A and B are shown apart, each in its own frame.
Chain A
Amino acid sequence: RKEVEQDPGPFNVPEGATVAFNCTYSNSASQSFFWYRQDCRKEPKLLMSVYSSGNEDGRFTAQLNRASQYISLLIRDSKLSDSATYLCVVNMRGGFQKLVFGTGTRLLVSP
Chain B
Amino acid sequence: GAVVSQHPSWVICKSGTSVKIECRSLDFQATTMFWYRQFPKQSLMLMATSNEGSKATYEQGVEKDKFLINHASLTLSTLTVTSAHPEDSSFYICSATPPSGTSTDTQYFGPGTRLTVL
Taking beta carbons and an 8 Å cutoff, which residues of A are in contact with B? 4, 32, 34, 41-46, 49, 87, 91, 95-104
B109 at the interface (CB under 8 A from A): yes
B75 at the interface (CB under 8 A from A): no
Contact A43 B107 (CB under 8 A): no
Given A102-B43, A103-B43, check contact A44 B109 (CB 8 Å): yes
B46 at the interface (CB under 8 A from A): yes
Contact B105 A91 (CB under 8 A): yes
Taking beta carbons and an 8 Å cutoff, which residues of B are in contact with A? 32, 34, 41-46, 49, 91, 93, 97, 104-107, 109-112, 114
For A95, list chain B residues within 8 Å (CB): 104
For B45, list chain A residues within 8 Å (CB): 101
Q: How far is B41's CA from A4's CA once the two chains are assembled, in angstroms?
A: 15
Contact A101 B44 (CB under 8 A): yes
When C-beta atoms are compared, the residue in chain B nearest to A34 turns out to be B105
Contact B43 A99 (CB under 8 A): no
Pairs of residues from A and B, 6 with the lowest C-beta to C-beta distance, nearest first: A43-B109, A101-B43, A101-B44, A103-B43, A43-B112, A32-B105
Contact B43 A87 (CB under 8 A): yes
